[in-house]
Amino acid sequence: MPISIKEDLLLANPIIWTPTGYSITRKFQITGLAEYSPTLRPIMAVGATDSITGFIIPAIGTPHPDRPDAVVRQVQAVCHGNDCFDALCRYEWELLPTNYLKSFSGNLEQNHHHYDINDALATVTYTPAGGSPQTQVAELMPLRLRATLSFHFLQMLDPEASTLAYAGCVNSATWRGFGPRTWLCLPIDGSTIDGVWYRNVYRFAYNPNTWDQYVVFKNVDGAIPPDIAATIVTDGSVMSGNGWARFELYPSTDFNAAFTFIT
């Protein structure tokens, strides 16, 4: 008896989301298997060839005709009678690439600052008529970049432990070409539907002036005495001086070792 295959019958819910990406199932109906034994019929169904068109039920590893990155991962035979079977071919493809997706968002914030682009103290001097020169530290209001960098991974790594270990930490060493203490690790978001594969999002906030804070003595009028401002060291090599101190507010860790999968 000739074998007949009806191709690509519609399913009620053809596309589903899986832990590793998307899945779509193609359904085929096979008839003409009555001459085979009941045990052999489902085996013949999943590998059947149409006697007229030559169409073959897609085998494991076969690409989808409309989406080459989706390949057959499972073929199932479902019996509907002595001479009728359905062959369900499940195709899968990854939602995320094998390395990661990266996204970036940023904005400019206005901050109080007392130094120019070359880190030279900004001062202004006024000499009244018949008087002596008076110098004050300038209160500049530059726009500074504040940015968030996000990496999206498909991992077998529970984000809970990573969040508890690294969220709220800054980089102790140069990371991705940026200086120490300029990146702050934010809480790591993750989701799973099977407890094995997680879609994790790692976010890092950037501050070009580091995430440390300075406290500087000010006069009653709010001005910083020039002799104090001139001694402030902004590169982190000195933590305090006469009338000023730098405070590290966040613990530090080596991001190069903690996030080896981020390049």
Average pLDDT, the chain: 83
Regarding predicted confidence, which is higher, 5 or 241?
A: 5
Of 88, 29, 80, give the one whose Cα is nearest residue 58: 88
Cβ neighbours of 138 (radius 10 Å):
15
- Which whole number is the average pLDDT over 212-224? 79
Regarding predicted confidence, which is higher, 36 or 15?
A: 36
State residue 57's pLDDT score. 95
- pLDDT higher than 80, residue 16: no
Of 78, 73, 50, give the one whose Cα is nearest residue 63: 73
Report how far apart, in Å, the C-alpha atoms of 201 and of each of 19, 150, 157, 250 are.
15, 7, 11, 21
- Which whole number is the average pLDDT over 160-170? 94
State residue 62's pLDDT score. 93
- pLDDT higher than 90, residue 223: no
State residue 205's pLDDT score. 93
Q: Report the range of poorest mean pLDDT among 64-73, 177-186, 253-262.
A: 64-73
* Residue 204 confidence class, pLDDT cut points 50, 70, 90: very high
Of 213, 210, 121, 118, give the one whose Cα is nearest residue 171: 210
Integer Cα distance of 205 and 182 in angstroms:
8
Regarding predicted confidence, which is higher, 124 or 235?
A: 124
* Residue 156 confidence class, pLDDT cut points 50, 70, 90: confident
- Which whole number is the average pLDDT over 104-130? 72
- pLDDT higher than 60, residue 192: yes
Structure tokens at 139: 């209160």
Q: Report the range of poorest mean pLDDT among 113-127, 161-175, 240-254.
A: 113-127
- pLDDT higher than 70, residue 67: yes
